Structure 1
Amino acid sequence: MNKWIRGTNAAVLSLAVIGIFIVVSIFLNSMKNLQVDLTQNKKFTLSEQTTQALKTLDKDVRILSLTSDQTEPFIKRQVVELAQEYKKRNGKITFDEYDMVQNPAIAKQYDVDPSGVLVVESGTQKKTIYYYDMFIPGQQQGEYRFSGEEKLTQAIVNLSAKEKSKVYFLSGHNEVPLNQMSTWRSGLESANYEVKELNLLREGKIPDDADILFVIGPETDISDKETELIKNYMNGKGKLYMALGFNKDMVSGWKNIDGLMAAYGIKDQHAIAIEPKQSVLYDPLTIIPEYGFHDITTKLQQYNLLTMMTLAVSLGNEPVENFPATAILKTTDKAYGETDLKLLAESSRSALDDKDVKGPLNLGYVVESKDKKPKAVVLGGSTFLVDRVIQQQGNRDFALNSVGWLHEQKDQVTIRPREGDALQQALLTGTQAKMIFYGTVLVFPLLFLVVGGTIWWRRRKG
């Protein structure tokens, strides 16, 4: 009788456990948005900016992943998992995967790359994100940063924009050519800017649709007639983004560039910033400036992303009525401005003397109009914008943030890249591989079976 009761209790208890498991499974399955991210780098947790953008999305968006056998499996998995997270958050998003080789007809419709591309489209608008643009090399071998969320969210936000903003890069004065700033250009185009080059000698005017005029790294002065055109443009609704370049003759030969900046209270001190002992990683001509308090730099400070400038010109401020200026980049008080530019250019040597400008030095200003509208961004250096440097630390974010502020772009997305685990590869011999296989497939299961059988037999006998 007791044996029958114990058996009945065991059966009832087993059924109860199974029933509870079924109920819990049904409950959890009904909560589609419930998930707990236990990964070390929270790679499945979307930022607040992305979550908000997906909540306000009111149009159908299709995301396509186009890959080939040349796409790294590890890279593909991260991108696909990210896109799937977006799909979960909003029912208007669909996600499809295609192999370029197996689906050549679909591949022909888009700008593809063998390493993989992500296409975001809505109606007639589409944005293409290359896989390799989402991964930034880390400081050490094998490390990386994944910026896929920032690029994908920005692409979705930009699909809502009806028109592109027109920006023009001035040429003809040995400025940094656009083909050496392809990363920045790509970022601007992804942020819905149409980027064009402008040679005033050929065009004779600044186009009426110019939202911003860029002057990046000039090595010679602007002519009198060009200066007049720029002043007329700025007297209207024009906006200026100027990043100075280095030239040993800038002291005596840049009266028009100096005059253009002076109209907005910015003074070229004709001195190159020197930071004697800031970091063992960089030479004294490379500056890691401190950020001033401003909308451009708030997120960079929060994420501890630094901006790096080389051969940066020291700037001063002589206040002009109706155009208040704010310093956003400055050196430490140990820095100084070397005024002997010819010596610096010939020998790269410098020593503080009475003619030099004592620190702290200002390396970047933003200028507003009297009604508090952005008017100009003036930076003492331009080398941080070129392809070989812009991906370091916060250079790219600073460059895009400053343009976004100048254009009053409220929907600019800045999401800190996720730090990825260093890729590690284990090298095994054939014997070691066999030992692992037989151990996990045969030995361990058999061991558990023997131990379990022994315990069951002893309890049955007892």
Structure 2
Amino acid sequence: MHLDSSLRQRLWFQHLLFLLLFCLVIGLLAWLSARYPVRADWTASSRNTLSEASQALLTHLNGPIRVTAYVHDYSPFREGISRLIDRYRRYKPDITLALVNPDLLPDQVRELGISEDGALSVEYAGRRETLQHPGEQALTQILQRLSRSHDRLMLFLDGHGERKPQGIANYDLGAFGHELAKTGIQTRLLNLIAEPHIPSGADGLVIASPQTPLSSDEIRTVLNYVQRGGNLLWLLEPGELTSLQALAALLGVTVFPGVVVDADT
């Protein structure tokens, strides 16, 4: 069967039109991918994506961040450090990374206290800290500290058998206090008998399970602090409120009998 010339022309035109449209679509996709890059992390537990806490912190950091990695030329840490910083750059493009051989700058290495291959010097807002063992959690904690013009102070009520933030006993909160310090939050004990006022410079008060009752003056001081808008973290043990019923009423807290059990722990 022979095709007449008009039919061949139509088929040829349709074929040409298809090729033109196909090239146009490919070109448009290439332009969109360059202008609006999209990345997907298909790894288990999304290990190539920053945590939500790190992402949230980066959105509040105004100004560039400069990271200097002191790593030898053929160190196995070079690639891992680059990948780590790239994860941060996805959410804050004005992060710069410089890879420096520490053998070429011995005086600078000593000045910064660099002792490990792959250590980082992180600069932000005119302040600088050194990170010996890079990782997301440690780097985000450094950025948290650098973002503050001064360290925050968290007071822990003391004098009634409370758990202590620097304590080493198994009932103390030593691990909690250590984590606070890593994020730039300093802790101090506050005995309201010896110091009857809560300092105005405190960023928060922690009541960590007092074992003996507070005096009426201490309770009044705590209530006044909360009513003025002070930050309070109240850690309750199962059982009695230990003279803090007025505080529970002020906060609208109702304590029910019983113990909550986490089946996963």
TM range (shorter): 0.5 to 0.7
Summarize the Cα distance change of 1:131–1:217 in structure 2 as closer, same or farther, 3 Å threshold.
farther
> Which residue in the other structure is 1:288 paired with?
none
CA distance in 1, matches of 2:236, 2:79: 42
Structure 1: which amino acid aligns with 2:124?
A: S
Q: CA deviation at 1:206?
A: 1.9
Summarize the Cα distance change of 1:101–1:199 in structure 2 as closer, same or farther, 3 Å threshold.
farther
Query: Residues 258-302 of structure 1, C-alpha deviation per residue, up to 9 Å, x if partnerless?
Result: 222x1133xxxxxxxxxxxxxxxxxxxxxxxxxxxxxxxxxxxxx
User: Contact 1:65 / 1:80 at 8 angstroms: preserved in 2?
Assistant: no
Q: Note the aligned Cα RMSD (angstroms).
A: 4.6
> Which residue in the other structure is 2:208 paired with?
216
Matches within 5 A, 1:56-455: 57-66=61-70, 78-87=80-89, 90-98=92-100, 103-110=105-112, 112=114, 114=116, 117-127=119-129, 129=131, 131=133, 134=135, 148=136, 150-153=137-140, 155-156=142-143, 159-162=146-149, 164-179=151-166, 180=168, 181-244=173-236, 258-260=242-244, 262-265=245-248, 320=249, 323-325=251-253, 359=258, 361=259
User: Contact 2:156 / 2:207 at 8 angstroms: preserved in 1?
Assistant: yes
With CA pairs under 8 Å and 6+ residues apart, which has the higher RCO, 1 or 2?
Answer: 1
Query: Residues 60-79 of structure 1, C-alpha deviation per residue, up to 9 Å, x if partnerless?
Result: 111234569xxx957x7545
Summarize the Cα distance change of 1:209–1:98 in structure 2 as closer, same or farther, 3 Å threshold.
same
Larger % of strand: which? 1
> Which residue in the other structure is 1:45 paired with?
49
Where 1:258 maps in the other structure, the secondary structure is: coil
Q: CA deviation at 1:218?
A: 3.7
Summarize the Cα distance change of 1:89–1:264 in structure 2 as closer, same or farther, 3 Å threshold.
closer
CA distance in 2, matches of 1:46, 1:116: 20
CA distance in 1, matches of 2:207, 2:118: 34
Summarize the Cα distance change of 1:63–1:183 in structure 2 as closer, same or farther, 3 Å threshold.
farther
Structure 2: which amino acid aligns with 1:123?
A: A
Structure 2: which amino acid aligns with 1:125?
A: R
Summarize the Cα distance change of 1:46–1:163 in structure 2 as closer, same or farther, 3 Å threshold.
same
CA distance in 1, matches of 2:139, 2:147: 14
Q: CA deviation at 1:59?
A: 0.5
CA distance in 2, matches of 1:218, 1:94: 48
Q: CA deviation at 1:241?
A: 1.9
**What TM-score, normalized by structure 1, do the two folds share?**
0.38
Where 1:264 maps in the other structure, the secondary structure is: helix
Which ranges in structure 1 are unaligned for 5 or more consecutive residues?
1-23, 135-147, 252-256, 266-319, 331-356, 364-392, 395-462
**What TM-score, normalized by structure 2, do the two folds share?**
0.60
Q: CA deviation at 1:117?
A: 4.6
Summarize the Cα distance change of 1:38–1:241 in structure 2 as closer, same or farther, 3 Å threshold.
closer
Structure 1: which amino acid aligns with 2:253?
A: A
Q: CA deviation at 1:53?
A: 5.5
